Amino acid sequence: MALKAEMEELEKNKVLVKVEVPAEEVQKAVDRAFRDLAREVFVPGFRKGKVPRRVLQARLGMEPIYEEVKQSNLPEYYSQALDQLGIEPIDEPEIDVEAIEIEEGKPLVFEAAVEIKPQVELENYRGVEVEKPDQEVTEEEIDQVLESMRERFAQLEVAAGKTLADGDFALIDFDGTVNGQPFDGGSSRDFMLEVGSHGIWPEFNEELRGKRKGDILDIKVKMPERYPDEEIAGKMASFKVIVKEVKVKKLPEADDDFAREASKFDTLQELREDIRAKLEEAKKSQAEESVRMQALRKLAEGLEVEIPQKMVEDYVRQRRDELEARLTSRGISMDSFLKAAEATEKGMEEGFAAEARQLIRNELVLDAVVRAEGIEISEKEIQEEIEKNAELLGV
């Protein structure tokens, strides 16, 4: 169907889309409407779907037929007009359906006012200056990866008679109470704690340093204000702690035997070369991504464009709904989350709005580059790029 579509710019990002549907297409739509209504309307003496058109027209008149044409076809006509004009709406169109007149043998004409996504033009985007990160892989970086591998293959060994120090492991039982009453999450058996780590309340670390197997401790803990149980949050808790065992971490030697155990290589040197190659590839990818994001940010910062409030509001609503769904799945209310985060709903939404404006500016830059380069890109690829930008922004 070759309908005619024109666009007239109104204020800001609003346009008036003018559509003319050919008379032959209108006739087809009218015929379809008759067939559809014939299947629904009961007329004495006729089976459903078999009512002659002249009988149906005499019984109903043409008004229901024309209304059916509008309801069934206007969305498709509007969609085709948008495709033809190459514009992207960000809101529902304003169409005066009542004012649309349909007459067989004549074109159907209607207008739709709609707010659209802004389009920007970039000047000299190829000449944007950015800083390319250093891609050299150092021996220290290889050592760090090798050390992480050794950590993964480390074993804990009992250290009889040793006093606990940072980096040692304590096997403990503990029971906690608040106002003499136990509480959820306050007790555990055979809990393995690395002294000096952030895996538990800091008072445990302080009290366990210098202790040995068999020691029994009474530890006072000021519960965090953000503790999930509001009845416990911010209160003093008492913990009875029993040190059942002291263990130390023993790392394997970085030698050929370790290389064979931890990888597919026979020697430590081969393993180091493989680590180097992987780090070089990772740094190359990171450098390319850094260059791309630097260019994107510079171009986005230079845009002189007013971001439509509707786009910002839609993004904020989506982010809030996503957060609320995640919290609900964990049994946490939005109020509890905001209280724990020491935040307000207004502050949270202002943060989302700032994210939205940055992401939308980035998206407009990408759209402009795609148009300028004549790149064919799918909706899936666009969405993936938007999600990647969101991740890089920490959204």
Residue range(s) defining the domain that contains residue 47: 4-115
Identify the pLDDT of residue 213.
97
CATH code (residue 197): 3.10.50.40
Torsion of CA 307, 313, 319, 322, to 10 degrees: -150
Stated pTM of the model: 0.62
In order, the DSSP letters of 188-223 are EEEEEEETTSSSS-HHHHHHHTT--TT-EEEEEEE-
Residue 146 lies in a domain: no
pLDDT digits (tens, 9 = 90+) for 87-118: 899 999 999 998 999 888 899 999 999 999 98
Identify the pLDDT of residue 382.
60
Tally DSSP H helices, then E strands, for the chain: 11, 8
Position 388 pLDDT exceeds 70 = no
Identify the pLDDT of residue 228.
78
Residue 80 lies in a domain: yes
Mean model confidence pLDDT for the chain:
89
Residue 381 lies in a domain: yes
Identify the pLDDT of residue 393.
46
User: Number of folded domains in the chain?
Assistant: 3
| Whether residues 94 and 16 fall in one domain | yes
> Smallest Cα–Cα separation from 18: which of 117, 110, 97?
110
Find out whether 336 and 230 touch, Cβ atoms under 8 Å: yes
The C-alpha atoms of residue 342 and residue 226 are separated, in whole angstroms, by 9
CATH code (residue 63): 3.30.70.1050
Identify the pLDDT of residue 395.
46
| Whether residues 43 and 96 fall in one domain | yes
Residue 309 lies in a domain: yes
Identify the pLDDT of residue 379.
63
Which of 224, 250, 276 delimits the end of a domain? 250
| Whether residues 280 and 378 fall in one domain | yes
Residue 353 lies in a domain: yes
**DSSP state letter for 156:** E
The C-alpha atoms of residue 258 and residue 173 are separated, in whole angstroms, by 34
Residue 35 lies in a domain: yes
Evaluate the CA torsion angle 333, 334, 338, 344 in order and state its sign: negative
Residue 126 lies in a domain: no
| Range from 100-104, 172-176, 373-377 carrying the lowest mean pLDDT | 373-377
Residue 28 lies in a domain: yes
Q: What is the residue whose two structure tokens read 């202002």?
A: 350
Q: How many CA atoms lie within 13 A of 249 on its CB side?
A: 15
> Smallest Cα–Cα separation from 49: which of 35, 32, 62?
35
Q: How confident is the model at residue 394 (pLDDT cuts 50, 70, 90)?
A: very low
